[in-house]
Structures are given as structure tokens and as C-alpha cells.
A and B are shown apart, each in its own frame.
Chain A
Amino acid sequence: MRVIIDEGRCVGGGRCAVAAPEVFDQRDSDGVVVLLRADPPAEYAEGVRNAVMLCPAAAIELREER
């Protein structure tokens, strides 16, 4: 599982930081997403999928390669 973020699209809604706090955080200065783990373990997959679904700006992409 590989997570890719697009800082340019991010609007700092914080949905990802709630859905998968082990994977996403926010910069204090402008609220933009900070990726804590680009290849998170499978246990966080559901949270990451939720973050992708909830992100208002489509700034998160999940590649479930194997």
C-alpha cells in the first residue's frame, strides 16, 4: 500500500488526520497535510481508504499494489 499526497490541492480540512492519525498530520502554519508514512502497514488501510473518500480536495491517492 502506497500513499501519495498532493499538497497543492489540499485545503486543510483535517479529515485525513482524524480518519488515519497514524498516517496523516497537518502543518500548524497552513493546515496542509503532512504524510507521516508513505507505505503504512495493512492495519491502517481502512483509515487511509476513509481519508481518501472524505478528502474534500481529492488530494490523497492510495495505490494498493502488491
Chain B
Amino acid sequence: MSDSLPVVERMPVERPAGCPFDPPARLAELRSRAPVTPLRFGDGHQGWLVTGHAQARAVLADPGFSSRHELMHLLDPQIIEVPPAGPGQFIGMDAPEHTRYRRLLAGRFTVRRMRSLAERVQRLTAQYLDDMAARGPGVDLVDAYAFPIPAQMICELLGVPFSERAHFQHLGAVANQADVPMEDKLAAFQEMGGYIADLVERKRARPTDDLLSDIIGGDLDHEELVGVGSLLLGAGLDTVANMIGLSTFALLTHPDQRDALHADPERAVEELLRYLTIAHTGFRVALTDIDLDGITIGKGQTVAVSLQAANRDPARFASPDALDLTRQAAGHLAFSHGAHQCLGQQLARLEMKVALPALFERFPSLRLDVPPQEVPLRAGDDVYGVRHLPVAW
């Protein structure tokens, strides 16, 4: 069957004009024809593109598909060879290496622990809303609200002094930005690593009550601690911030959804996660020949799993292109699926379900301060979002 399918020569990235929240239309065409289709990668490798929800879920759940970085072909033609994940960079590892880190950290992000942080998120949110009110009307919502709340939360959880954010706050963004040269990205990663290495030494000398101090006493060596610390800090800085920024943009352009946000924030957040799916694509490599929907994925072939296409699959979600905060969207793949599903997902949910309703309660007349088409988007970045969101009230 795979012989009959034409190879997609380039991963579709073009969004429909004037639709900042929609995936490229070509992905929907591909999904309706063949939810698993051959795809050319940046180095010429012929792998696969998965656009269907059921197929994406199957790939992500199957330990026969590896997350090891060094096995992967990527879309960027500049990257011919991918180095193995460094010590502690468990997103690029499989079991049992991955499991060792995951077990060490999952206890720090349990539902119970995250619930105990709810009051702290509420207080922080109120504080940044006060600051906004004092500065505005007329602020960049990313700078005033979407970035600092999750940034301060992850700093406090890890034990990274928020007052030192000048050393790392631009690093996450630079490292994930599309138009930044590779050497600058690597430099940003190194700078972040250097900062965390220094912090680990400081915590070793003078432990505090936080995640980093706690795991320093365990069986991870220095390099692993730096890897874990960099990974968690980077993940905490550049993800929820984008969800809060882009969600606010979506809510401002879909005012009919505002009542539903307040009526059931938990349900609303799941739908925003599904609809916006800011981490667009996940990658896996077949460790053996694997049958997927009657198609053989050959050993060594890379699979690009389009999470954004899967989350708009009409076979899974009715009217998938409509933002409907009242729908039951759980089961979306915005946090991925399988053993690598986002470690911080319960923290992310907590931050969104507090910060989004609070923003519109405090500023009921919140509006965009520029025409919607002038909002700068993070097109092509590893994580999608708005670069700035000028708002007034």
C-alpha cells in the first residue's frame, strides 16, 4: 500500500492566511487521504508523516518507536547528524534510562503536589494583574503576564532564583526560535548549562527547600543534574507562557467563548490545549519493522507525528476546527502520549486554569491593541505562540 502513496517532499508549514490558530491546510488534506504517508526529511531520508489521531496515539504509545535523538532524521536540512541526548536529557532516551529519570522526577509533579501549589499560583496571578493595572492600559501581555507567571513558578519549584532571570530568560526563547542560526542556539544551550552548573554547586554548598537541592542528594552525577535542571527550566519557561499568550489571543478573537471559560475553566483549558497544540510535531524512530494501519514502518525510519493535525482529526473530534470550550477535549495529544507525555502537564493545567479566567475577570474590557493580523507569531519555532500581544482595556 505504501508504494502507491506519493512522497510528501516537504513537511507542510504554511498556515491558511489570516488563520493564526489553524494548522497548515495541507495536513488536513493528507490526513483525509492517508493518515500515515511517506515524508522526505531534511537530509533526504524517506520516513513517515502521521496526521491521524488514532495512528499518532499508536506510534507514541508503542515502545517499539524510539525517542533516541541519535537515531533520528530531522526536517531541517542543516542538521545531518543528531548527537545522542546528553546526561539527564531524558526526552531523548528510551526505557530503562528514561524510566530512571522519570521516576525520580514524577513524584515532584503529582496531582496532589500541584494542587498544593494552587494558592501560590493564585497569589502570583493577582500580583501580576496588579502590576498590569498599574502599568496600563496598553501592555504587552506576554511580557507582563504570560511569561512571568509560569517562569516564576518553575523557578520556585526548581529552586532557581527568579531574581537571576536575566541569565536565562531569553535562552529558552532563543534556543527554540526558528530564524536563529544554529551556532547561536548552541551557545544559548551552553550558557543555560553553565548557569545551571554554577547553581548546582551553590545548592550543594547550601541546600534549600526545592527540587534541585533534593535531587542533589540522590544518585545523579553532576552532569546529569545539570542536564535535568536545564531541561526542566527550559521546558517551564517556554511552554505555558506560549499557551497563556496564544490562548488570550484566541479568546479575544472568539468573544463568544468567554462565558464557557468562566463556567468550567478545567474543561476550557483542555479545549485550548487541543485547539492550539503549540508543540506541533513529535518524532520517533522504528526500532524494528512495525505495522501501522496496514503500512509497514521499516526499522530505522523516522516518523514525524503531527500532534496539531491529530488534534484536528474529525474521526476523533466533531467539528475539529471550531474552538468550543464546552466540548470534552480530553484525549487530545497536546502533551503528547506514551512514556514521554509531558512531565509538567499538571502544573501547566493549574497555571492556565488560574491565569486565564483571572485575566478576563480583572479586565472584562480586555482587547487587542493592534489589528489581529499584526500580532507577531512564532511561526516555525519549536513551540508556537505569539511573540508579543499588545492589549488594552
**Chain A residues in contact with chain B, CB under 8 A?**
11-14, 17-19, 25-32, 50, 53-54, 56-58
Task: Report the Cα distance A30→B104, complex, angstroms.
Answer: 6
Q: Known contacts being A11-B341, A14-B346, A30-B103, is A56 close to B110, with CB within 8 Å?
A: no
Are B338 and A57 in contact, with the CB atoms below 8 A?
A: yes
Besides the known contacts A26-B107, A30-B107, A32-B106, 12 further A-B residue pairs in the complex with CB atoms under 8 A apart: A11-B339, A12-B102, A25-B112, A26-B110, A26-B111, A28-B112, A29-B107, A31-B107, A32-B103, A53-B331, A56-B337, A57-B61
Name which of B99, B108, B338, B339 has the most chain A CB atoms within 10 A of its CB. Answer: B339
Residues of A contacting B331 with CB < 8 Å? Answer: 53-54
Instruction: Encode contact with A along B84-112: 1 for CB under 8 Å, 0 otherwise.
Output: 00000000000000010011101111111
Are B330 and A11 in contact, with the CB atoms below 8 A?
A: no
| B345 in the interface (beta carbon within 8 A) | yes
Residues of A contacting B99 with CB < 8 Å? Answer: 11
Are A54 and B110 in contact, with the CB atoms below 8 A?
A: no
Instruction: Encode contact with A along B331-349: 1 for CB under 8 Å, 0 otherwise.
Output: 1000011110100011000
The number of residues on chain B lying at the interface, defined by a beta carbon within 8 Å of a beta carbon of chain A, is: 24
Task: Report the Cα distance A17→B111, complex, angstroms.
Answer: 7
Residues of A contacting B114 with CB < 8 Å? Answer: 14
Are A13 and B345 in contact, with the CB atoms below 8 A?
A: yes
Closest 7 CB pairs of A and B: A12-B106, A31-B106, A56-B341, A14-B111, A30-B103, A26-B110, A17-B111
Are B339 and A56 in contact, with the CB atoms below 8 A?
A: yes
Are B339 and A57 in contact, with the CB atoms below 8 A?
A: yes
Are A12 and B109 in contact, with the CB atoms below 8 A?
A: yes
Q: Which of A13, A19, A32, A53 contacts B341 (CB 8 A)?
A: A13
Q: Known contacts being A11-B102, A12-B102, A13-B341, is A56 close to B61, with CB within 8 Å?
A: yes
**Chain B residues in contact with chain A, CB under 8 A?**
60-61, 99, 102-104, 106-114, 330-331, 336-339, 341, 345-346
For chain B, what secondary structure do more than half of its interface residues adopt (helix, strand, loop), or is it mixed?
helix
- Could you pull out 18 A-B pairs where Cβ atoms are within 8 angstroms? A11-B106, A11-B339, A12-B102, A12-B110, A13-B341, A14-B109, A14-B345, A25-B112, A26-B112, A29-B107, A30-B103, A30-B104, A31-B109, A31-B110, A53-B331, A54-B330, A56-B339, A57-B341
Specify the chain A residue showing the minimal Cβ separation from B337. A56
Task: Report the Cα distance A14→B102, complex, angstroms.
Answer: 13
Residues of B contacting A58 with CB < 8 Å? Answer: 61
Task: Report the Cα distance A43→B385, complex, angstroms.
Answer: 41
Are A28 and B338 in contact, with the CB atoms below 8 A?
A: no
Are A50 and B107 in contact, with the CB atoms below 8 A?
A: no
Are A56 and B338 in contact, with the CB atoms below 8 A?
A: yes
Q: Known contacts being A18-B111, A57-B339, A58-B61, is A12 close to B103, with CB within 8 Å?
A: yes
Task: Report the Cα distance A35→B150, complex, angstroms.
Answer: 32
Q: Output the least CB separation between B89 and chain A (Å).
A: 17
Specify the chain B residue showing the minimal Cβ separation from A25. B112
Are A14 and B110 in contact, with the CB atoms below 8 A?
A: yes
Name which of B110, B114, B346 has the most chain A CB atoms within 10 A of its CB. Answer: B110
Q: Output the least CB separation between A29 and chain B (Å).
A: 5
Task: Report the Cα distance A31→B114, complex, angstroms.
Answer: 12
Q: Output the least CB separation between B52 and chain A (Å).
A: 17
Q: Output the least CB separation between B10 and chain A (Å).
A: 30
Task: Report the Cα distance A26→B60, complex, angstroms.
Answer: 23
Q: Known contacts being A54-B330, A56-B61, is A27 close to B107, with CB within 8 Å?
A: yes
Specify the chain B residue showing the minimal Cβ separation from A50. B330
